[in-house]
Copies of this chain bind each other. A is one copy, B any other.
Amino acid sequence: MKYINGGVCAAKGFKASGVFCGVKANSSPSKKDLALIYSEIPCSAAGIFTKNQVKAAPVLLDIELIKDGVAQAIVANSKNANACAPEGMENAKRMCSAAAAALNIPAENVMVSSTGVIGQRLNIEAIEKGIPMAVEQLNYDGSDAAANAIMTTDTVKKEFACELEIGGKTVHIGGIAKGSGMIHPNMGTMLCYITTDCAISTPMLKKALLSANSVSFNRISVDGDTSTNDSCIVLANGLAGNAEITSEGADYDAFFEAFVAICTDLARSMAADGEGAKHLITCQVKGACSVAQAETIGKSVIGSALTKSAIFGCDANWGRVLAAMGYSGETFDPEKVNVSFASTVGSVPVCKDGRGLDFDEDLATKILSEKEVIIDIEMTEGDCEATCWGCDLTYDYVRINGDYRT
């Protein structure tokens, strides 16, 4: 596979746009708030959604809409989550219908997402006015605008794409995502849209999405808060012309390899741009008895407020890593654990057999001052591993979230 530009428009037959429609009163037109993704033909579709018991209206609607495995467009707004909001379902349906009418496709083929503040009535009138503009601006270079329109407290857009060969045909996969806050592994932890021109059946697309999710989006945490609006939707329109993938085999494997790479890139970029983040924390857990054990321990470490604060302070406080492993719920022998901190400038072992090592504090600080920091855990109990991603806890996280609504 080869990385390319184009995001959700890298695949043949996909257009996108992003416009400002004024979802939030008195907000600046310089921040787009309405995104549209459209395929020229109906697609195989799969989606995963938040496990939060409190689900936003568009999530509840999408869960129904995607049951038939077919979709052709996605409309999404930022600035309002349409969760716990008056007339939530009514407004989600109006948003769906407005996009369907403007695109002249059936409403059941339009997926709907919202992200932003919880509990306030969605300004559906602004969205209904904005949708025809978004349809008008649909184009093959529109991924950037769509990626920007779904951003909330994100500081950079998340957009990746790649191409690969399947059955002699060039296949494209691309995605955009928004992350930043209320990010925690509990399946689909963000808004994320992935498009492909690969011909692949809905069941195989769903299988790929579930498998990729478990090792990408499900392994990131910003703040331990699972949102009410998490959605990840993938559309496959088959325009690459490959023989449709309907079962496992070499074609599926090739598709999956590229698909999981894009998912992982999007997941990592969400962790790296977590609210207020100064560091991307990559926690590699090796030598575990099972992947599930490695994953649970890795998630506990990236979720630890104390570990996150230490990384913010470039402080090699590995005791907090051990403590977070210890309260993960997994059983293991602390006296077999080795820990190192690493980054592009080097690596420093800090704990061997569960005991502190003498180490060069200056080197450790230098290593931890890099943007991406790796916490390398060797459990010496088995040969399974998992990698999880998080970010540091900073003053800016507190600032951003101390006054989010205003």
Q: Is A54 in contact with B334, judged by CB distance below 8 angstroms?
A: yes
Instruction: Compute how far the CA of A120 lies from the CA of B357 in the bound complex, rounded to whole angstroms.
Output: 9
Whether A403 is near chain B, meaning CB under 8 Å from some CB there, is yes
With beta carbons under 8 angstroms apart, the residue of B313, B326, B328, B398 that contacts A309 is: B398
Q: A186 and B306 in contact (CB under 8 A), knowing A313-B401, A398-B312?
A: no
With beta carbons under 8 angstroms apart, the residue of B86, B304, B351, B404 that contacts A356 is: B86
Whether A320 is near chain B, meaning CB under 8 Å from some CB there, is yes
- The chain B residue sitting closest to A81, CB to CB, is B319
Near B by CB (< 8 A), chain A positions 96-150 give 117-121
Q: Is B306 in contact with A119, judged by CB distance below 8 angstroms?
A: no
Whether A372 is near chain B, meaning CB under 8 Å from some CB there, is no
Instruction: Compute how far the CA of A327 lies from the CA of B186 in the bound complex, rounded to whole angstroms.
Output: 9
Instruction: Compute how far the CA of A320 lies from the CA of B116 in the bound complex, rounded to whole angstroms.
Output: 11
- Cβ contacts under 8 Å, A325 to chain B: 53-54
Whether A182 is near chain B, meaning CB under 8 Å from some CB there, is yes
B-contact bits for A300-314, CB 8 A (1 contact / 0 none): 000111100110110
B-contact bits for A326-362, CB 8 A (1 contact / 0 none): 1110111010000000000000000100111000000
Shortest CB distance A124–B (Å)? 15
Q: Is A227 in contact with B404, judged by CB distance below 8 angstroms?
A: no
Q: Is A324 in contact with B225, judged by CB distance below 8 angstroms?
A: yes
Instruction: Compute how far the CA of A356 lies from the CA of B80 in the bound complex, rounded to whole angstroms.
Output: 13
- Among the 9-residue stretches A40-48, A69-77, A207-215, A389-397, the one with 4 or more Cβ atoms under 8 Å from chain B is A389-397
- Cβ contacts under 8 Å, A249 to chain B: none
- Cβ contacts under 8 Å, A168 to chain B: none
Q: Is B317 in contact with A405, judged by CB distance below 8 angstroms?
A: yes
Q: Is A117 in contact with B225, judged by CB distance below 8 angstroms?
A: no
Q: How many copies does the complex hold?
A: 2
Whether A255 is near chain B, meaning CB under 8 Å from some CB there, is no
Shortest CB distance A374–B (Å)? 19
- Cβ contacts under 8 Å, A405 to chain B: 315, 317
Q: Is A84 in contact with B334, judged by CB distance below 8 angstroms?
A: yes
Q: Is A355 in contact with B84, judged by CB distance below 8 angstroms?
A: yes
Instruction: Compute how far the CA of A153 lies from the CA of B293 in the bound complex, rounded to whole angstroms.
Output: 33
Whether A261 is near chain B, meaning CB under 8 Å from some CB there, is no
- Cβ contacts under 8 Å, A331 to chain B: 53
Whether A52 is near chain B, meaning CB under 8 Å from some CB there, is yes
Shortest CB distance A166–B (Å)? 38
Shortest CB distance A138–B (Å)? 32
- Cβ contacts under 8 Å, A184 to chain B: 327
For the complex, count residues of A whose C-beta is within 8 A of B.
Answer: 67
- Cβ contacts under 8 Å, A404 to chain B: 309-310, 313, 315, 317
Near B by CB (< 8 A), chain A positions 49-83 give 51-55, 81, 83
Between-chain CB contacts (< 8 Å), 28 pairs: A53-B328, A54-B323, A54-B326, A54-B354, A83-B319, A84-B354, A85-B355, A86-B355, A86-B356, A117-B319, A118-B319, A118-B322, A224-B303, A224-B305, A225-B320, A225-B323, A225-B324, A228-B322, A228-B326, A305-B393, A309-B398, A309-B401, A310-B402, A312-B402, A315-B405, A317-B404, A393-B398, A395-B395
Instruction: Compute how far the CA of A318 lies from the CA of B47 in the bound complex, rounded to whole angstroms.
Output: 28
- The chain B residue sitting closest to A116, CB to CB, is B319
- The chain B residue sitting closest to A121, CB to CB, is B356
B-contact bits for A14-44, CB 8 A (1 contact / 0 none): 0000000000000000000000000000000
Whether A201 is near chain B, meaning CB under 8 Å from some CB there, is no
Shortest CB distance A25–B (Å)? 14
- Cβ contacts under 8 Å, A186 to chain B: 327
Whether A298 is near chain B, meaning CB under 8 Å from some CB there, is no
Whether A188 is near chain B, meaning CB under 8 Å from some CB there, is no
